Amino acid sequence: MSSAAITTVIKMMESLPNEVQDRIAEHLREYINDLQDEIRWNESFQRTQPKVFTDPTIIWLKFCFLFNYLYVNLFGFFQA
């Protein structure tokens, strides 16, 4: 499937030297891989989000972590 955006990118790249085209292709590969990772992460997060926020064990662990973080940072601040 070809879209107007893909056609535009191809036309823009055709006017460039081969070595520049290769560099652009590598950057696009990395960028697309990052986008695909982000999409997979978002999909995974959407599947697990209801469990994370309603599971009492997770809520308790988050509370303990937050309390510990605040205690260490505030206590350390007042000691200095």
Taking the model in full, what pTM does it have? 0.52
- State the total domains in the chain: 1
Token output for 50: 């209801």
For residue range 26-52, what is the model confidence (pLDDT) as tens digits? 998 999 999 999 999 888 877 776 665
| pLDDT confidence bin for 64, thresholds 50/70/90 | confident
Q: With pLDDT > 70 as the criterion, what percentage of the chain qualifies?
A: 76
Whole domain around residue 16: which residue ranges? 4-79
Burial of 24 (0-12, 13-18, 19+ CB in 10 A): middle
